[in-house]
Amino acid sequence: MAYKVAIVGRPNVGKSTLFNRLVGKRLAIVDDTPGVTRDRREGEGRIGDLAFTAIDTAGLEEAKAATLTARMLAHTERAVAGADAALLLIDAKAGVTPLDAHFARRLRKHRTPVILVANKCEGRIDEAALAECTALGLGEPVAISAEHGLGLGELYEALRRYAPAPGPEEAVETAKAEAAVGEGRALQLAIIGRPNVGKSTLANRLIGEERLLTGPEPGLTRDAIAVEWSHGGRRIRLVDTAGLRRRAKVTDRLERLSAADALRAVRFAEVAILVVEGTDPLNRQDLALASLVVEEGRALVIAVNKWDLVDDRAKAMRRLRDRLELSLHQVKGVAVVPISAATGEGFARLMEAVFRAHGLWNRRIPTPSLNRFLLEITETHPPPLSQGRRSKLRYMTQTKTRPPNFALFGNKLEELPESYLRYLVNALRDAFDLPGVPIRLAIRGGKNPYAAK
């Protein structure tokens, strides 16, 4: 059984900094602005030989019912309830605040053991301030500096007390799980789109639980949050990202950090689901995001959300496909799946489209088939003449997958016009059934053996 450790505390005490320190990489966005973290984020943490799942949570604040802060607090409470231990962080420089005391009392009611951690203990710290922490009823605090990595030895000792000891059967199950992980990697799936199009609602529907914070507020998601789950027996690592606006409209530093996190998620994805609104599909920003996915060489699936609100569905789909044909020819035939994240309509078809796009993205075509294709193409539609001579297309091979990359060999290939290269790519797509997948075609000219003479 995985050892889960939830990191909790009021805003701006260094929870995300400690989370990044424990997982050994910069996964969570860190900023001086209070309340940066909203969704809970998980990562594989380690101190020495002690491995655990670290959970970064939103800052604990008093909140009225039916507010965003109340929803964030509910998510944090669920994280604590599902953890084996919780770290309550306080700011050692600020001392114990009334909010720290309030939430310490609240955490003591949980069954989950709570370890008090005094962060920001680099330099000279008032010993009286640390002694004041004992009034919280959680024992002596562990003094650390998450930013500088100080005090992790003491934190290791505190965490080890609550680490579950695996029994013989559990150790066998763990070994089996690790072997299964080694046999097949999880499909890396990113959900992207403009703010407030329903990305987090879609993610929650797919994984079957309220794992991600949702609401009417635009820009609710800030971090790119990864969740592992399975669908139809296949492991999937789903990443919900922050809404992306046009670069000219992004002026806030925090939004820039969120956008960079979302773009990084696209680069590490294998398939990206672009969520658009059925009532306003494929505006300029949607097309820019689709082009970004294609430029990064990722497989693309378009989910048209809020389809239940569209009156004339046939007309809306025709307009959408016409726009794709005109503005996104690089991935001709991309899968377009109408869905409703609110009702669950279209989810089975969406996942079928994701698996198909992933399969095509990994497709490898035999070289003999490619060269038969090339022979037929050059006979029916030969390259245009250039200065009275025609380029000679000799042979073609696939150099890699993910996405499919092809190399074309011959003479005078640098004189081939872009229009003919686009024709070859589209012909490849049609001949080998590669709809909606980016295709890379590189030209490799042959050397003239008489050039030196």
pLDDT in tens, 380-426: 999 888 777 888 899 999 999 999 999 999 888 888 899 999 999 99
Alpha-carbon dihedral 155, 158, 163, 165, rounded to 10 degrees: 120
pLDDT 10s digits, 305-336: 999 999 899 999 999 989 888 888 888 899 99
When pLDDT is averaged across residues 95-117 and rounded to a whole number, the result is 87
Task: Give the Cα separation of 141 and 154 in Å (integer).
Answer: 10
Tens-place pLDDT, residues 3-26: 899 999 888 888 888 998 898 877
**pLDDT tier at 347 (50, 70, 90 boundaries)?**
very high
27 close to 5: Cβ distance less than 8 angstroms: no
- pLDDT for residue 24: 85
Can you tell me which residue has the tokens 């005490």? 13
Q: How far is CA 171 from CA 167, 168, 185, 372, in A?
A: 6, 5, 21, 54
170-189 residue pLDDT tens: 444 444 444 444 346 889 99
Domains located in the chain, CATH noted? 4-169 (3.40.50.300), 185-361 (3.40.50.300), 367-445 (3.30.300.20)
pLDDT at 248 over 70: no
Cβ 83 vs Cβ 112: under 8 Å: yes
Q: Is the pLDDT of residue 274 over 80?
A: yes
φ and ψ at residue 60, rounded to 5 degrees: -80, 120
CA distance 192 to 262: 8
Could you give the C-alpha distances from 217 to 194, 224, 233, 364, in angstroms and in order? 13, 17, 34, 44
Q: Does position 222 have pLDDT exceeding 60, yes or no?
A: no
Question: What is the CB-side half-sphere exposure of residue 89 using CA atoms within 13 A?
Answer: 28
Strands 50-56 and 41-47: antiparallel
Q: Residue 442 forms beta bridges with which residues? A: 407
Residue 51 has pLDDT above 70, yes or no: yes
Average pLDDT over residues 186-209: 87
Residue 207 in this model has a pLDDT that exceeds 90: no
Q: Is the pLDDT of residue 220 over 60?
A: no
Give the lowest-confidence range in 67-76, 182-191, 223-232, 278-287: 67-76
pLDDT at residue 196 greater than cutoff 90: no
pLDDT of the residue at 273? 95
pLDDT surpassing 70 at residue 32: no
With 70 as the cut, is the pLDDT of residue 452 above it? no
pLDDT at 204: 85
Chain segment 130-171, per-residue pLDDT in tens = 677 877 888 888 888 888 888 888 999 999 999 887 655 444
Q: What is the DSSP letter of 59?
A: P
Confidence (pLDDT) at 398: 94
Per-residue pLDDT at 450: 47
Question: Is the pLDDT confidence value at 449 over 60?
Answer: no
Find residue 238's DSSP bridge partners.
189, 227
Mean pLDDT of the chain: 82
CA gap 205, 200 in Å, rounded: 9
For the ranges 39-53, 390-404, 426-440, the lowest mean pLDDT is seen at 39-53
Q: Kindly tell me the burial class for residue 237, based on how many C-beta atoms sit within 10 Å of its own C-beta (0-12, 13-18, 19 or more).
A: middle
**What local confidence, expressed as pLDDT, does residue 176 receive?**
47
Q: Are strands 385-386 and 335-338 parallel, antiparallel or unpaired?
A: unpaired
* 207 or 270, greater pLDDT: 270
* Gap between the Cα atoms of 93 and 416, Å rounded: 68
How far apart CA 211 and CA 204 sit, in angstroms, is 6
Q: What pLDDT was estimated at residue 419? A: 92
User: Do 344 and 205 meet the contact criterion of CB atoms below 8 Å apart?
Assistant: yes
Query: What pLDDT is attached to residue 180?
Result: 44
Question: Where in 309-418 does DSSP place strands (E)?
Answer: 335-338, 385-386, 389-390, 392-400, 405-411
